[in-house]
Structures are given as structure tokens and as C-alpha cells.
Amino acid sequence: MDITFMVALVIGLALFFDFTNGFHDTANAMATPIATGAIKPKTAVTLAAILNLVGAFLSTEVAKTVSGGIIREGSDGVQITPEIIFAGLMGAILWNMVTWLKGLPSSSSHALFGGLIGAAIAGIGFNSINLEGLLQKVILPAIFAPLIAGIVAYICTRLAYALTSRHDPETGSKLTQKRGGFRTGQIFTSSLVALAHGTNDAQKTMGIITLVLIAAGTQAPGSGPQFWVIAACALAIAIGTYAGGWRIIRTMGAGLTEVKPAQGFAAETSTASAILASSHLGFALSTTQVASGSVIGSGMGRRGTSVRWNMVGKIALGWLFTLPAAGLVGALTALLVKTGVVGVLIAAIAGTAAVLFMFFYSRKSAVGHHNAIEVEEAGQAVRFAKKKAMARARAKAKAHARTSAEANTSAGATTGANTSAAADTRADANTNAEANSDTEAEAVTTKDAQR
């Protein structure tokens, strides 16, 4: 197959993976502010898309990790081909679609790495994998990052509730808590998460495209992504983010724990800090794992709430199978494309058919911005939003009741007056009748006397 066509095919597939990464990871930044009512759903995904676009231009350290830190290339000679990268991308995309369909916030990053590793091992051998780079910049961050983020979110949540707790100074009884300000804070913290996501996840696709350009001999080994690569990847992940992964937003916003504004603020702060630090150090971190760990930690940090551990178990199981599952699909695809042009075409057609099938199957139980998170599950902030309206309604009801009472009193007084007047009229009529009767009697007496 012509190398130019293969490179173009891989670049197109990489950008589609970037698109799936966008809608798969929208929940990382916007699930909690949507759940608490801090931002409207459509506004949230629009904001996340813009900030992902901006964030993609801010750093390329992660892109260098993907292009040179996991797959060997450089002075020893490039050992990976565009066909192998094509196979790895197929594994990543199919796993992304499966977990999206199930509403599981799995790692797009690990799906990508798993697909590439499986394809490289099947197509070239174990010597194509940089095990040291894989351990230092993928495996270890995958283990420690969600734990650290969860611990930080737990501490931040406890501090947020402790510092804003209100009690009566005389009786010591608990007063109505006023934590609505955290909703405003969530707008900024969730925006920071979206920006941080762009600095980390968009870089991975940049690294893949850079890797295929190096493999094709059109770019020097060890060099970073070109500007057009950065711009294309930034646009692809922004469009995907705007599409909104509503199934995963439902899981992150209401499936793990009941999220309230102070919790959401703490979780987003923890997530953004971890992602920005990893982007600076060049760690290809799973932003999904970090965000999930933060939500779980914030749920554990608030008294009176509970973490839905059955859902946590399902998510953890998905994390565990991400690398091997994507690697298996990548390996099988690599074996198929080794057969030549026919194998590449079969793999492309089969992959396209699988993606379309999952998309149309998802329409049977569509999840969108209108039903991603139910109102009764939307947390404390929903009540904040309705507080003034409810107060006005109560005042209006009281005024109506007062008016009705006054009207009834007035009606009662009017009825009493009318009754009294009627009685007086009847009394006067009786008196007149008696007077007439006396007059008649006197007239009869006079007639008798005259006779």
C-alpha cells in the first residue's frame, strides 16, 4: 500500500480518536457543575470545548512522551510502521466506544497506550516497547494519581464544610448553612479542569500523529509536533467535547455519589491540580481516573452522604481491563493488516461497522442534556436556585390567605347588618299591623256607641 495513503488514513483515524476522547472525557470537567446546577448542561459543554481548544496549545510535553517515551524510535532506528499505529488506534477507538455505550468513565489514554502496545508486540515484538518509559510515565501515574487526587479531594471537602459551618453562638445549635458561593466557584474550577484536560489529553493524539510522521520518514526522530498537528488535534477534541458524552456525565454526576456544591468545588480543584502537574512533568496521565478519584474522595469527605461502591467497582473493573482489552484488539488488527492491503481494508470496514452499530444501538435509549441528570439528583445547588422563587411563592400564599380572611370577615359583618335590618323591618311591620288593628277596633266601638 502506498505510504502516503497509509499515513493519511492513520492521521484521519487519529483525529477521530481525538474526537471520541473529547466526548468521552467531557464528564471529567463538567459532570459535577452540571449535577449541582452551577452551569446549564449545554453551556457547560460549550465552555469545556473552548477551553480544551485553548489548552491544547499550551503544552506539548505529553505529546513527546507518546511519540518517543513508549514506542522506541530515534538513534536505533524507527521500529514502528504506520500500519502498526493504525492497528493501535483501532483498539483504542473500539474500547472508547464500548465504555461510552455502557456509561463507564474509562481511560482514553490507557486505551490508546494499550492498543499501541498490543499492536507493536504483535507486529514487531517486545523489543519495540520502551518498558522503562511505560512504567515511569504511564503505569505509576495510573496507580498513584487517582489515589492522591481522591485524598486531596477528601481533605478539601472536609475543610470546606468545616470552615463554612454555622452554629448559634448561644445555644450551639446548627443554623441554616449558606454554601451557595461554592456554585460560583465551581464555574472557575471546572473551567480550569477543562483547560488542564486540553493540556494533557489533546497532546496524546499529537504524539500519535508525530509518531506516524516519523515512521514515514517525513519528520526527524525526537522532534515535537508541528503546528498544523497541534491545531488539528485541538479542533478535533474541542468538537468532541461539545458533542458531550452524556452517558458518562450521568455516571460521574449522579452515579458515584450525591454531589453538592462544596464537594464539586473540592473535586474539581483536586482534579485540575493533578492534571496540570502531570502535564508539566510530561506524564501521560488518565484524566478520567483522576476525576473519578476526586469525586469519590469528595463523597467520602462529606458527612451524611454515601459512595455507591457497586458503581465504583464497575468503573475499577473497566480500568483494569482497559489496557489488555485495547491491546488485544490492537494485536488482532495488527495481525490482520500484516497480510497487506486487503487486511487493512477489512480492518477499516469492520471497525467502521462496529462504531456505527454502537452508535445506532445507543439511540434506543438516548441520553442527552435534557435527561443526563435528573432534577431530584442534582444536589443541593438546585434548591439554592429555587430558594428565592419558593420564598416569593410562600409570601404570595400568605398574602392570599390574609386577603381571603379579611374578605370573609367583611362578608360576615355585611350579612349580620343585613339580618339586623331585616329584623327591624319585620318588627316595624308588626307594630304597624297592631296599630291598624287597634284603629279598626276603635272604629267599631264608635259605631256601636252611635247606634
Which grid coordinates belong to 149? Answer: 487526587
Q: Count Cβ atoms below 10 Å from residue 437 Cβ, excluding itself.
A: 10
Separation of alpha carbons 128 and 217, rounded Å = 18
Which grid coordinates belong to 5? Answer: 495513503
Separation of alpha carbons 118 and 106, rounded Å = 18
Torsion, Cα of 296, 241, 58, 104 (10° steps): 30
Separation of alpha carbons 194 and 268, rounded Å = 10
The pLDDT of 58-81, averaged and rounded, is: 63
* pLDDT number for residue 9: 92
* pLDDT number for residue 138: 77
- Sequence-distant (6+) residues with CB within 8 A of 155 are 301
Cell numbers 493519511 correspond to 8
Q: Is residue 283 a contact partner of residue 63, using CB atoms and an 8 Å limit?
A: no
Which grid coordinates belong to 133? Answer: 518509559
Number of helices (H), then strands (E), belonging to the chain: the values are 15, 0
Q: Is residue 295 a contact partner of residue 252, using CB atoms and an 8 Å limit?
A: yes
User: Could you tell me how many residues make up the chain?
Assistant: 451
Stated pTM of the model: 0.73
Q: Count Cβ atoms below 10 Å from residue 47 Cβ, excluding itself.
A: 20
Tell me the per-residue pLDDT of 150-191, one tens digit each, with 9 for 90 and over. Answer: 898 899 888 888 888 766 666 666 656 666 678 888 888 888
Q: How confident is the model at residue 336 (pLDDT cuts 50, 70, 90)?
A: very high
Tell me the per-residue pLDDT of 413-451, one tens digit each, with 9 for 90 and over. Answer: 555 555 555 555 555 555 555 555 555 544 444 444 444
- Sequence-distant (6+) residues with CB within 8 A of 36 are 183, 186, 259, 260, 261, 264, 378, 379, 380, 381, 382
DSSP states of 152-205: HHHHHHHHHHHHT--B-TTT-PBPPP--THHHHHHHHHHHHHHHHHHHHHHHHH
Tell me the per-residue pLDDT of 216-264, one tens digit each, with 9 for 90 and over. Answer: 888 887 777 889 999 999 999 999 999 878 888 888 777 777 778 888 8
